[in-house]
């Protein structure tokens, strides 16, 4: 992370590192630990001697084998050729000059003693940070999103990176409502789960004309991004793809984290691949045309995310709601890209939801309603109040066969000694634990109407 002094690189860097489960290194701190206070080095040896020293520490920090979050001092930009040379992912942590001055004036920082000089230096350095950075952010969520290739904004004219050709895979209903995000040959897919079939994937494999340098752009809800991402993962053994999600489920969940899938008659999402999009552009304005019931589907994931994050994210206006939820999921997925551990917290409530959906043969119970009920069960088992979920999602018990639902749940989460592994909610977010089957069965039964 680069940025002007006072941008908050140390504080935000530490937070980002903790969210990504990676070590944090502050180059200024490292220099001070080894060589003494920076103001003293400036005073005794001058700025250029300090820059040389700093360059050595930046090189050391960026050469670590372990992926790390590293904050480099505001002035390290003077040695920016080094950052290019080191091939690190660089994010500019941007800050307004007034905020920066308010934060650092009165400190011993050698370059924050004179306000006019400070402002002049800020104006000179801003373009340098932009030049060297792969992304720009103003807070920890922004840094995480940039690291995951996710942007929350209107569709940019240059949506597809690189010089290769692009083709668009789009939900046919969405194309009736919105301008396509790129001017490219378009392959339509049906709305809903009908898009996630082997037949649709095969048609797309056959119709695509891209070569290996091409990029597939997916435009639609979770069904479209799932099938298009899977086709991109497999066509010519894998080409780049860009996700442009248009539903709340897509914007806060499905288009993030690199999971792609199609369904088989034997079950949902049984065939797929991990294939992270090169870019995900989330435009919350696209949701203006979303029917209420589709929005409600997505709210179940928003509430789940808020519970895991420990913040009432569901209360935020759309732009911020989507940005915060997307950042939460991006951080968890960057931490565990192949779903081998930490990412399992995202399944809060989903074990129950899958069981209810399976018992209803994926017909009478929508995923959102099933997740809302699943959250009730998970909160009850966690000893947390459920009034919030009841207020926002108002889940009604479903009419499904109790034994079928239980069998589906047991099949899904079998474990040793009659215990079942589930995600529950603790004081610091979600965690995985084993519970006696009888407790889990009771919680499931409470979700089912007589
Ligand atoms: N890959 C993942 O990590 C992941 C995560 C969560 C869900 N999913 C998958 O996502 C799918 C559900 O996604 P979904 O809920 O977005 O469903 P969807 O893609 O079927 O979209 C729902 C409906 O909304 C319509 N629609 C889409 N955008 C619209 C807009 N802007 N205005 C009006 N109508 C619009 C669609 O035509 C469709 O009829 C499931 O198949 C699920 O398995 C995947």
Q: Which of 223, 229, 338, 374 to mutate to test the pocket of ligand 1 (most atoms within 8 A of CB)?
A: 223
Q: Which residue has the higher pLDDT, 280 or 73?
A: 280
Report residue 74's pLDDT band, with 50, 70 and 90 as the boundaries. Answer: confident
Q: How far is the CA of 366 from the centre of ligand 1 (A)?
A: 12
Which of 270-284, 354-368, 406-420 has maximum average pLDDT? 270-284
pLDDT in tens, 344-365: 999 999 999 999 999 999 888 9
Is 272 near ligand 1, meaning CB less than 6 Å away? no
Dig out the tokens for 311 from the structure: 């913040």
> Cα–Cα distances in Å, from 204 out to 219, 232, 238, 268?
14, 10, 14, 19
Do the domains spanning 166-298 and 348-445 agree at the CATH topology level? no
Distance CA 240, CA 324 (A): 26
pLDDT tens by residue, 152-171: 999 999 999 989 899 999 99
Whole-number average pLDDT of the chain: 94
Closest Cα to atom 15, ligand 1: which residue? 249
Alpha-carbon span 444 to 294, nearest angstrom: 25
CA 169 – ligand 1 centroid, Å: 14
DSSP code per residue over 360-414: TTTTSS-HHHHHHHHHHHHHHHHT---HHHHHHH-PPPB---HHHHHHHHHHHH-
Q: Is the C-beta atom of 289 inside 6 A of ligand 1?
A: yes
Q: Where does the pLDDT of residue 415 fall: very low under 50, low under 70, confident under 90, or very high at 90 and above?
A: low
Provide CATH code, domain 166-298.
Answer: 3.40.50.1970
Q: N- to C-terminal Cα distance for the chain? A: 57
Distance 246 CA to ligand 1 centre (A): 8
Identify the pLDDT of residue 63. Answer: 87
75 lines ligand 1 (CB under 6 A): no
Question: Domain coordinates of the chain in residue numbers?
Answer: 9-147, 166-298, 348-445
The alpha carbon of 265 and the centre of ligand 1 are apart by a number of angstroms equal to 19
More confident residue, 279 or 87: 279
Verify whether ligand 1 is closer than 6 Å to residue 174 (CB atom). yes
Please indicate whether residue 301, judged by its CB atom, sits closer than 6 Å to ligand 1: no
Ligand 1, closest atom to CA 192? 20
| CATH T-level fold of 9-147 | Rossmann fold (3.40.50)
Residue of the nearest CA to atom 19 in ligand 1?
221
CA of 332 to the centre of ligand 1 (A): 21
Q: Residue 105: what pLDDT?
A: 87
Task: Evaluate if residue 78 carries a pLDDT over 90.
Answer: no
Share above pLDDT 70 across residues of the chain, in percent, rounded to a whole number: 98
Mutate which of 226, 302, 325 for ligand 1? The one with the most ligand atoms within 8 Å of its CB, which is: 226
Answer yes or no: is pLDDT of 109 > 90: no
- Rounded to whole angstroms, the Cα distance separating 314 from 420 reads 30
Could you tell me if the CB of 70 is within 6 A of ligand 1? no
Where in 49-157 does DSSP place strands (E)?
Answer: 69-71, 91-93, 135-137, 150-152
Least confident of 125-134, 215-224, 382-391, 438-447: 125-134
User: How remote is the CA of residue 91 from the centroid of ligand 1, in Å?
Assistant: 31
> Is the beta carbon of 287 within 6 A of some atom in ligand 1?
yes
Determine what percent of the chain is predicted with pLDDT higher than 90. Answer: 82
**Ligand 1 centre distance from Cα of residue 294 (Å):** 8
**Degrees (nearest 5) of the Cα angle 397, 249, 284?**
135
Residue 54 sits at φ, ψ, to 5 deg, of: -60, -45
Q: How much is the average pLDDT of 78-90?
A: 81
- CATH number corresponding to 348-445: 1.20.1090.10
**Ligand 1: nearest atom to the Cα of 224:** 19
Which residues does 72 contact at the CB level (< 8 Å), separation at least 6?
Answer: 1, 2, 9, 27, 54, 58, 61, 83
Handedness of CA 221, 223, 228, 230 (dihedral sign): positive
Residue, of 258 and 52, whose pLDDT is higher: 258
pTM: 0.95
Beta carbon of 226 within 6 Å of any ligand 1 atom: yes
173 CB within 6 A, ligand 1: yes
């Amino acid at each position: 992370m680069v940025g002007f002094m006072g941008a908050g690189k140390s504080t935000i860097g530490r937070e980002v590192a903790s969210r990504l489960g990676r070590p944090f290194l502050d180059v200024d701190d490292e220099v001070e630990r080894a060589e003494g206070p920076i103001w003293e080095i400036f005073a005794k040896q001058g700025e250029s001697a300090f820059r040389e020293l700093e360059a050595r520490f930046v090189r050391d920090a960026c050469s670590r084998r372990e992926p790390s979050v590293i904050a480099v001092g505001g002035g390290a930009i003077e040695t920016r050729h080094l950052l290019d040379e080191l091939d690190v992912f660089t994010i500019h942590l941007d800050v307004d000059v007034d905020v920066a001055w308010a934060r650092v004036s009165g400190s011993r920082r050698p370059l924050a003693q004179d306000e006019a000089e400070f402002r002049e230096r800020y104006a000179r350095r801003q373009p340098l940070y932009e030049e060297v950075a792969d992304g720009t952010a103003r807070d920890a969520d922004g840094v995480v999103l940039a690291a995951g290739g996710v942007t929350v904004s209107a569709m940019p004219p240059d949506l597809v990176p690189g010089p290769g050709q692009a083709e668009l895979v789009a939900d046919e209903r969405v194309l009736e409502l919105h301008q396509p995000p790129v001017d490219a040959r378009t392959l339509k897919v049906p709305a809903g789960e009908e898009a996630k079939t082997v037949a649709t994937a095969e048609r797309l494999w056959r119709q695509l004309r891209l070569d290996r340098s091409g990029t597939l752009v997916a435009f639609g809800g979770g069904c479209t991004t799932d099938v298009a991402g899977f086709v991109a993962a497999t066509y010519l053994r894998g080409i780049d793809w860009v996700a442009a999600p248009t539903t709340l489920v897509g914007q806060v969940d499905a288009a993030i984290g690199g999971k792609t899938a199609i369904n088989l008659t034997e079950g949902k999402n049984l065939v797929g691949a991990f294939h992270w999009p090169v870019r995900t552009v989330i435009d919350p304005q696209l949701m203006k045309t979303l029917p209420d019931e589709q929005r409600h589907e997505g709210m179940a994931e928003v509430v789940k995310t808020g519970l895991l994050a420990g913040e009432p994210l569901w209360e935020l206006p759309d732009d911020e709601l989507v940005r915060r939820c997307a950042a939460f999921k991006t951080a968890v997925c960057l931490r565990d890209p192949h779903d081998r551990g930490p990412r399992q917290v995202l399944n809060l409530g989903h074990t129950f939801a899958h069981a209810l959906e399976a018992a209803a043969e994926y017909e009478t119970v929508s995923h959102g309603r099933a997740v809302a009920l699943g959250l009730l069960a998970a909160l009850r088992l966690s000893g947390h109040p459920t009034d919030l979920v009841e207020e926002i999602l108002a889940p009604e018990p479903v009419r499904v066969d109790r034994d079928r639902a239980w069998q589906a749940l047991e099949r899904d989460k079998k474990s040793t000694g009659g215990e079942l592994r589930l995600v529950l909610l603790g004081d610091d977010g979600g965690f995985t634990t084993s519970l006696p089957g009888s407790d889990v069965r009771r919680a499931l039964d409470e979700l089912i109407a007589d």
